[in-house]
Amino acid sequence: MNGWQERYWLLKQGRRVPAAGERRAEDFVCCEVPVGEDAAMALEVFTSREGAEAELWGMERLAAGEHYPRAANQYRERFTEGEPNETLSDRVVELAGYELVEMLDDSGIPYVLIDPSPVDEPIPEGLRIELAAAFAEELRRLLLGAMKKSRA
Protein backbone atom coordinates (compact mmCIF):
# COMPACT_ATOMS: atom_id res chain seq x y z
CA MET A 1 0.00 0.00 0.00
CA ASN A 2 1.29 3.45 -0.84
CA GLY A 3 0.14 7.00 -1.45
CA TRP A 4 -0.93 7.66 2.14
CA GLN A 5 -1.49 11.27 3.08
CA GLU A 6 -2.61 13.48 5.94
CA ARG A 7 -5.90 14.79 4.43
CA TYR A 8 -8.83 13.05 2.74
CA TRP A 9 -12.19 14.12 1.36
CA LEU A 10 -15.60 12.43 1.68
CA LEU A 11 -19.06 13.26 0.34
CA LYS A 12 -21.96 13.90 2.71
CA GLN A 13 -24.78 11.43 2.25
CA GLY A 14 -27.82 13.30 0.98
CA ARG A 15 -28.37 16.76 2.40
CA ARG A 16 -28.51 15.94 6.11
CA VAL A 17 -26.01 17.46 8.51
CA PRO A 18 -24.37 15.23 11.14
CA ALA A 19 -24.48 16.39 14.76
CA ALA A 20 -21.68 18.80 15.65
CA GLY A 21 -18.40 16.98 16.20
CA GLU A 22 -19.97 13.59 15.43
CA ARG A 23 -18.90 11.94 12.21
CA ARG A 24 -19.99 8.45 11.30
CA ALA A 25 -19.12 6.56 8.14
CA GLU A 26 -22.84 6.13 7.48
CA ASP A 27 -23.15 9.93 7.09
CA PHE A 28 -21.00 9.76 3.96
CA VAL A 29 -21.40 8.25 0.50
CA CYS A 30 -20.79 4.52 0.34
CA CYS A 31 -21.09 2.28 -2.67
CA GLU A 32 -21.29 -1.40 -3.46
CA VAL A 33 -18.01 -2.96 -4.56
CA PRO A 34 -17.28 -6.40 -5.97
CA VAL A 35 -15.63 -8.77 -3.50
CA GLY A 36 -15.03 -12.15 -5.06
CA GLU A 37 -18.41 -13.30 -6.36
CA ASP A 38 -20.28 -11.13 -3.86
CA ALA A 39 -20.62 -7.41 -3.20
CA ALA A 40 -19.93 -5.38 -0.06
CA MET A 41 -20.25 -1.78 1.10
CA ALA A 42 -17.29 0.57 0.80
CA LEU A 43 -16.82 4.13 1.96
CA GLU A 44 -15.78 6.40 -0.92
CA VAL A 45 -12.52 8.15 0.06
CA PHE A 46 -10.87 10.80 -2.12
CA THR A 47 -7.28 12.00 -2.02
CA SER A 48 -8.18 15.38 -3.54
CA ARG A 49 -11.04 17.84 -3.24
CA GLU A 50 -11.25 17.98 -7.04
CA GLY A 51 -11.83 14.22 -7.27
CA ALA A 52 -14.58 14.39 -4.65
CA GLU A 53 -16.25 17.32 -6.40
CA ALA A 54 -16.11 15.54 -9.78
CA GLU A 55 -17.87 12.55 -8.21
CA LEU A 56 -20.48 14.79 -6.60
CA TRP A 57 -21.08 16.60 -9.88
CA GLY A 58 -21.59 13.25 -11.64
CA MET A 59 -24.08 12.17 -8.97
CA GLU A 60 -25.98 15.46 -9.27
CA ARG A 61 -26.10 15.19 -13.07
CA LEU A 62 -27.41 11.63 -12.98
CA ALA A 63 -30.01 12.55 -10.35
CA ALA A 64 -31.19 15.45 -12.51
CA GLY A 65 -31.37 13.20 -15.57
CA GLU A 66 -28.71 15.16 -17.46
CA HIS A 67 -26.46 13.15 -19.74
CA TYR A 68 -24.41 15.80 -21.48
CA PRO A 69 -20.61 15.30 -21.40
CA ARG A 70 -20.16 18.95 -22.42
CA ALA A 71 -21.79 20.12 -19.17
CA ALA A 72 -19.40 17.95 -17.13
CA ASN A 73 -16.41 19.34 -19.00
CA GLN A 74 -17.59 22.92 -18.41
CA TYR A 75 -18.00 22.17 -14.71
CA ARG A 76 -14.47 20.74 -14.46
CA GLU A 77 -13.09 23.77 -16.33
CA ARG A 78 -14.76 26.10 -13.82
CA PHE A 79 -12.99 24.30 -10.97
CA THR A 80 -9.60 24.49 -12.64
CA GLU A 81 -10.22 28.21 -13.24
CA GLY A 82 -11.04 28.76 -9.56
CA GLU A 83 -14.83 29.16 -9.72
CA PRO A 84 -16.11 26.70 -7.13
CA ASN A 85 -19.79 25.80 -6.96
CA GLU A 86 -20.63 26.53 -3.32
CA THR A 87 -23.71 24.30 -3.24
CA LEU A 88 -21.73 21.24 -4.28
CA SER A 89 -18.61 22.18 -2.31
CA ASP A 90 -20.63 22.27 0.92
CA ARG A 91 -21.22 18.52 0.56
CA VAL A 92 -17.49 17.78 0.34
CA VAL A 93 -15.97 17.22 3.80
CA GLU A 94 -12.24 17.37 4.45
CA LEU A 95 -10.91 15.08 7.17
CA ALA A 96 -7.50 14.77 8.73
CA GLY A 97 -6.06 11.27 8.48
CA TYR A 98 -6.54 10.65 12.21
CA GLU A 99 -10.24 11.66 11.94
CA LEU A 100 -10.73 9.18 9.13
CA VAL A 101 -9.01 6.46 11.19
CA GLU A 102 -11.27 7.15 14.19
CA MET A 103 -14.37 7.11 12.00
CA LEU A 104 -13.38 3.82 10.35
CA ASP A 105 -12.57 2.26 13.73
CA ASP A 106 -16.09 3.10 14.98
CA SER A 107 -17.90 1.91 11.84
CA GLY A 108 -19.05 -1.41 10.52
CA ILE A 109 -17.98 -0.48 6.98
CA PRO A 110 -15.77 -3.34 5.72
CA TYR A 111 -14.05 -1.60 2.78
CA VAL A 112 -12.90 1.75 1.45
CA LEU A 113 -12.89 2.64 -2.24
CA ILE A 114 -10.10 5.12 -2.86
CA ASP A 115 -10.48 7.72 -5.61
CA PRO A 116 -13.34 6.14 -7.55
CA SER A 117 -13.89 7.59 -11.00
CA PRO A 118 -16.94 9.87 -11.24
CA VAL A 119 -20.15 7.89 -11.34
CA ASP A 120 -21.04 9.31 -14.77
CA GLU A 121 -17.83 7.98 -16.33
CA PRO A 122 -16.84 4.38 -17.21
CA ILE A 123 -15.59 2.25 -14.31
CA PRO A 124 -11.86 1.58 -14.66
CA GLU A 125 -10.50 -1.97 -14.59
CA GLY A 126 -8.46 -1.65 -11.38
CA LEU A 127 -10.53 -0.17 -8.57
CA ARG A 128 -8.55 0.67 -5.41
CA ILE A 129 -10.56 -1.31 -2.89
CA GLU A 130 -8.94 -1.72 0.54
CA LEU A 131 -10.11 -3.46 3.68
CA ALA A 132 -11.18 -0.63 5.99
CA ALA A 133 -9.25 -2.10 8.95
CA ALA A 134 -6.04 -2.52 6.91
CA PHE A 135 -6.38 0.98 5.42
CA ALA A 136 -6.91 2.50 8.89
CA GLU A 137 -3.98 0.56 10.35
CA GLU A 138 -1.60 1.65 7.58
CA LEU A 139 -2.78 5.25 7.90
CA ARG A 140 -2.33 5.04 11.70
CA ARG A 141 1.28 3.86 11.18
CA LEU A 142 1.95 6.69 8.74
CA LEU A 143 0.57 9.26 11.17
CA LEU A 144 2.57 7.86 14.10
CA GLY A 145 5.74 7.89 11.96
CA ALA A 146 5.11 11.51 10.98
CA MET A 147 4.59 12.47 14.64
CA LYS A 148 7.87 10.78 15.65
CA LYS A 149 9.74 12.60 12.87
CA SER A 150 8.35 15.97 13.93
CA ARG A 151 9.46 15.38 17.55
CA ALA A 152 13.02 14.45 16.54
Instruction: Give the domain ranges of the chain.
Output: 7-151
Q: What string of pLDDT tens digits covers the 152 residues of the chain?
A: 445 688 999 999 865 655 666 788 889 999 999 888 999 999 999 999 999 999 988 888 777 765 545 455 554 554 545 544 445 668 899 999 999 999 999 899 999 999 998 887 877 777 899 999 999 999 988 888 777 777 76
- Name residues whose C-beta falls within 8 Å of residue 18's C-beta, 6 or more positions apart in sequence: 12, 24, 27
pTM over 0.85: no
Question: Could you give the residue ranges of the DSSP H alpha helices within the chain?
Answer: 49-64, 69-80, 86-89, 97-105, 132-151
- Name residues whose C-beta falls within 8 Å of residue 33's C-beta, 6 or more positions apart in sequence: 39, 40, 41, 42, 111, 113, 127, 129
- How many Cα neighbours within 13 Å face the side chain of 11? 28
The b/e string for 13-49 (b: 16+ C-beta within 10 A; e otherwise) is eeeeeeeeeebebebbbbeebeeeeeeebbbbbbbeb
